[in-house]
């Protein structure tokens, strides 16, 4: 259970810093591994904990977020925890209403339709007032982890959040959101800038609360072509890294490693490697060698096993992991999936993935 000790001594000492060392480009004995959506519906205990509560009510309960964050760590020797939350808490902080509709997913009751709708958004967001529940969840979880592994905080990136705010939910084409980029470029930049400023404060607040690394999710990068990405996504991704780092310095907070995960943006890998993040996350559609060639020696790569590989028999998962480790190399590398775990996955196969990363990377390092 998640107990909260407000000990003035601060947080427990970290016992396993493999993930942080790899993120900073230091040598590691084994390749660290964690999974996007590792706190998730594939675990029966997750479904049980979540059953009684509305999704966003769960997000607003530090105790439940803590419990859900810890569940996968009780089962698997993962090298990092990621706080249980949702990227759409940021649009909520801007004053938009989002509900989770069973069978449909997150739905905005009043998406942005016209440029004038931007005036309905809060122009100045006090992140502690609006998102303090996430900060509390991070502090509680950091204590409850007892130093086992580092805790990752995260946010959605501006374009991805903008696309949800205009589409009103998931979309296969993002046509409404993309039409804004073509029809209303100024208003689009105004919205993206507002989001970037809130995200910056939100991420800095997460570090102040105890997050030891940060991941920015540009999950909808693949809907943009190279030019739109260059205009409407990359500048804000860069600004956030820079602004977060300078604010952390100003506030004398730890300079934590930052990860950028822009799904399906292989056309932008070179730029992402120079965007100010220590780690570049990769989806499963790019060859490891190619990613290394494009990103160079100064960033750590994270990824990129096809999540559907976890449907394979366990021996096969081991073979695929070995191949992936040989292709990326065991150093300056964090093993992960190329996207999140799916709800119908067998937890034992997740365990096989984690154990294969540890076993094969140790073996490769020895020889």
Q: What is the pTM of this model?
A: 0.97
* pLDDT for residue 211 is more than 60: yes
Assign 3-state DSSP to the chain and report helix, strand, coil percentages, each to 5: 50, 10, 35
Instruction: Determine which one of 24, 75, 86, 267 is catalytic.
Output: 86
Look up 37 and say whether it is catalytic: yes
What is the distance between the alpha carbons of residues 111 and 253, in angstroms, rounded to a whole number?
36
What is the distance between the alpha carbons of residues 353 and 351, in angstroms, rounded to a whole number?
5
**Domain locations in the chain?**
31-281+291-303+331-340
Do 285 and 306 touch, CB atoms closer than 8 A? Answer: no
| Check whether domain 31-281+291-303+331-340 has CATH 3.20.20.210, yes or no | yes
Instruction: Determine which one of 17, 21, 42, 50 is catalytic.
Output: 50
Q: Which class for 344: exposed (0-12), middle (13-18), buried (19 or more C-beta within 10 A)?
A: exposed
pLDDT of residue 359: 98
Look up 362 and say whether it is catalytic: no
Instruction: Determine which one of 164, 236, 277, 333 is catalytic.
Output: 164
What is the distance between the alpha carbons of residues 351 and 181, in angstroms, rounded to a whole number?
42
* pLDDT for residue 308 is more than 60: yes
Token pair belonging to 161: 């959040």
Look up 342 and say whether it is catalytic: no
Residues 152-194 have pLDDT tens digits of 999 999 999 999 999 999 999 999 999 999 999 999 999 999 9
**3-state DSSP assignment of residue 281:** strand
Instruction: Determine which one of 24, 41, 75, 362 is catalytic.
Output: 41
For residues 291-296, average pLDDT: 97
Instruction: Determine which one of 17, 21, 37, 197 is catalytic.
Output: 37
Look up 332 and say whether it is catalytic: no
Look up 50 and say whether it is catalytic: yes
């Amino acid at each position: 259970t998640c107990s909260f000790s407000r000990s003035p001594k601060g947080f427990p000492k970290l016992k396993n810093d493999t993930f942080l060392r790899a993120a900073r480009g230091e040598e590691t004995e084994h390749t660290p591994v964690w999974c996007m959506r590792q706190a998730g519906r594939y675990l029966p205990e997750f479904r049980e904990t979540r059953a009684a509560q509305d999704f966003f009510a769960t997000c607003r309960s530090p105790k439940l977020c803590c419990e859900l964050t810890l569940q996968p760590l009780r089962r698997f020797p993962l090298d990092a925890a990621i706080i249980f939350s949702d990227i759409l808490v940021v649009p909520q902080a801007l004053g938009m209403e989002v509900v989770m509709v069973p069978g449909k997913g997150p739905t905005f009751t009043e998406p942005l339709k016209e440029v004038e709708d931007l005036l309905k958004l809060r122009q100045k967001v006090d992140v502690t007032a609006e998102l303090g529940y996430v900060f509390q969840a991070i502090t509680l979880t950091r204590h409850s982890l007892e130093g086992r592994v580092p805790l990752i905080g995260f946010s959605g990136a501006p374009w991805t959040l903008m696309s949800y705010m205009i589409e009103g939910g998931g979309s296969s084409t993002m046509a409404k959101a993309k039409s804004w980029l073509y029809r209303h470029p100024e208003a689009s930049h105004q919205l993206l800038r507002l989001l970037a400023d809130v995200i910056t404060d939100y991420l800095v607040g997460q570090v102040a609360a105890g997050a030891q690394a940060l991941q920015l999710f540009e999950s909808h990068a693949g809907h943009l072509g190279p030019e739109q990405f260059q205009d409407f996504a990359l500048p804000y991704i860069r600004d956030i890294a820079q602004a977060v780092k300078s604010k952390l310095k100003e506030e004398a907070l730890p300079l934590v490693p930052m990860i950028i995960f822009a799904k399906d943006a292989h056309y932008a890998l070179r730029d992402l490697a120079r965007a100010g993040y220590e780690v570049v996350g990769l989806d499963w559609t790019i060859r490891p060698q190619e990613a290394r060639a494009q990103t160079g020696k100064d960033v750590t790569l994270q990824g990129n096993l096809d999540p559907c590989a976890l449907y394979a028999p366990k021996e096969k998962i081991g073979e695929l992991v070995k191949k992936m480790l040989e292709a990326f190399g065991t150093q300056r590398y964090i093993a992960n999936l190329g996207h999140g775990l799916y709800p119908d996955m067998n937890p034992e196969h997740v365990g096989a993935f984690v154990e294969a990363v540890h076993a094969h990377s140790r073996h490769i390092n020895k020889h």
